Structure 1
């Protein structure tokens, strides 16, 4: 893969994922314009997530059967259509349908990662996956800044007009920049993946990993908007920059994975993730410690995420789309768990309880990673003794 191809695919990931998360910074404004009561605003957020989860199950496995370049192109066009529908929606029902459609086809991100894994030489696979998946974090965190600014300078609908236009332009860029990736379908995929130890263990790690990630980013506005800080939405959005610094700092995780260090990177990164909550928990009196904690957390999350995808696509080169789709279903469920339990913990006992919760999820991810690694070592040792 050349630099231009990596840049295009990184932008694909960033823009596609922003179609899901772009509604969050403009939620209140959009809800008021669409006539939604405050208690019903959650449907605007849930629609994209529900569509995304459905896409992971229904659409991502198609990448193991059809030309992924064509799938990426078509899915970008349909994501643009969903975003465009949101931008012109006369009411809440149409907007929710558009958000669900955009979320459904935003799984183009996973097909993109599978494409990268398929066309990359073995010694560059981790590097390329790390570069392209950095676009996901750029989209999730960067859209908070861009959407907030567009919402204030123009109108909330402009956010989705821009997303639709970018998706359409990227569809053309993909069509004329990437080479075709013809698939050779494999029989018995479902039987071979179900019960796969690596997939299950990495899926569980992802579940707790992104529960910890979701705990931070779903609840961070709560202590920052309260005493003693009383920050506005634009100021809170700037904390996304700290997350970007951390996530982009983990770009080397792909290179480490190429050198056979994916499992060790997972271990020490999850230990860092757990420790980061000691800093994040100080949000009530120190913004600098909070910023440091955010940087460490996002670095650790991205390093583990890249390492996991490298291991999975290497183990299942002919079925990478379906494997990544299953893995990302764990990711999606973990993110939802973090979002739901964060508000509960904050209302019950404040930010200290949220920090304990986030650290607990991180520690569980570390426990799963270390225990499954020991089991794998034990099983490989037994196999060697049987041979001898």
Structure 2
């Protein structure tokens, strides 16, 4: 099998990153639009956030049921098929007559919007051993940029066109175009193992049971993405109210600040390639905890503090994501899709928990309630890291 590396094929790695970002953006376009959707359908903020929660649930189901298929079928064909389904679902979302239709449709859309983790494991499989951390880091940077810039793009499109529905129409066109490009460019790689689908799903549990590093990194991923989702799920409501009173376009621009933080996290992959993942994890988790203290300044009414907090939060979360994936991809080359499924399913379950908790906290306790939820999750992740360091020191004595 021909491998790719950052030196051999920068263009191919860039394509993987770009495609992964576009694929994952589908489940985040709605976040800066929640206030506008709530206004059109005359629903409250708590009800509107159900779109985020349901989308995350659907995406988690897709991770569990579809991503493992990458170990038994052609990843190229799997990706193209899923992207085309998402394109159709986005087109229908643009013309739904009610919030109920939009919410229900968000589930199957999200189930099939799992192209990003499939692309990440595909890139890791093609990468050479010495460059796997860097390749994973670059592709994951594309994923988080897609997460963040989806908010920016969604907000700006809605602002320019005057309707949130146009965002879904644009997304549909992008997915069909991406499917065509990937079909023409991606290599056809035969799966390493031949295994039936039920056995494939059962084997995921065996992999998790046998790999302690995977279990630890799943814990970090759950808590970090829960913290991240708590912030981004409720930020639109904070910024839509005084003293900000921003429209969808300006709210979406906050994704640009997060994108800067995501780009700054790219060296994490190189550090993991040098076996510095423990120190890297501690620093990144500490940064996430610190970011919540910053965004809580003046009850969220300090624009400067919010911007700094976004930078640090996204730097920490993206850095942890790169570190986690680089560590777990060292194990089981024949099972990378299943490893991806186990990790990413746990990761997005964290997103469900964080979105739901923040959505419940905001109407009751406002922005400081959200900060308590997000900060508490980050502190728990840092405590787990601390316990792990004590255990590791005990083993080396």
Q: TM-score normalised to the size of structure 2?
A: 0.87
Cα distance per residue 1:59-115 (max 9 Å; x no partner): 011111112122222221222122122124355555445422221111111111110
Query: How far apart are residue 248 of structure 1 and its match?
Result: 1.2
8 Å CA contact retained: 2:361, 2:370: yes
For structure 1, the residue ranges without an aligned partner over 5 or more in a row are: 383-388
| Counterparts of 2:315 and 2:221, CA distance in 1 | 15
36-45 vs 286-295, greater mean Cα deviation: 36-45
Give matches, 1:1-388, under 5 Å: 1=4, 2-30=9-37, 37-38=43-44, 40-92=47-99, 94-154=101-161, 155-185=163-193, 189-190=203-204, 192-195=206-209, 196-284=211-299, 285-376=301-392, 378-379=394-395, 381=396
Q: TM-score normalised to the size of structure 1?
A: 0.89
Query: How far apart are residue 336 of structure 1 and its match?
Result: 2.0
Query: How far apart are residue 230 of structure 1 and its match?
Result: 3.5
8 Å CA contact retained: 2:152, 2:251: no
Query: How far apart are residue 29 of structure 1 and its match?
Result: 4.0
Query: How far apart are residue 375 of structure 1 and its match?
Result: 3.2
For structure 2, the residue ranges without an aligned partner over 5 or more in a row are: none
| Counterparts of 2:391 and 2:368, CA distance in 1 | 34
Cα distance per residue 1:340-370 (max 9 Å; x no partner): 2224444444433432332221111112223
224-233 vs 164-173, greater mean Cα deviation: 224-233
| Counterparts of 1:204 and 1:15, CA distance in 2 | 26
Query: How far apart are residue 302 of structure 1 and its match?
Result: 0.5
| Counterparts of 1:91 and 1:349, CA distance in 2 | 29
Given the superposition, is the C-alpha separation of residues 102 and 346 from structure 1 closer, same or farther in structure 2, using an over 3 Å criterion?
A: closer
Give 4+ residue runs of structure 1 displaced > 6 Å after superposition.
Answer: none
Cα distance per residue 1:237-269 (max 9 Å; x no partner): 222211111111111211222222222211111
Given the superposition, is the C-alpha separation of residues 226 and 80 from structure 1 closer, same or farther in structure 2, using an over 3 Å criterion?
A: closer
Given the superposition, is the C-alpha separation of residues 183 and 235 from structure 1 closer, same or farther in structure 2, using an over 3 Å criterion?
A: same
Name the SS for the 1:319 alignment partner: helix
| Counterparts of 1:351 and 1:24, CA distance in 2 | 17
* Higher relative contact order (CA closer than 8 Å, sequence separation 6+): 2
2-11 vs 22-31, greater mean Cα deviation: 22-31
8 Å CA contact retained: 2:52, 2:355: no
Q: CA RMSD in A?
A: 2.4
Query: How far apart are residue 310 of structure 1 and its match?
Result: 0.7
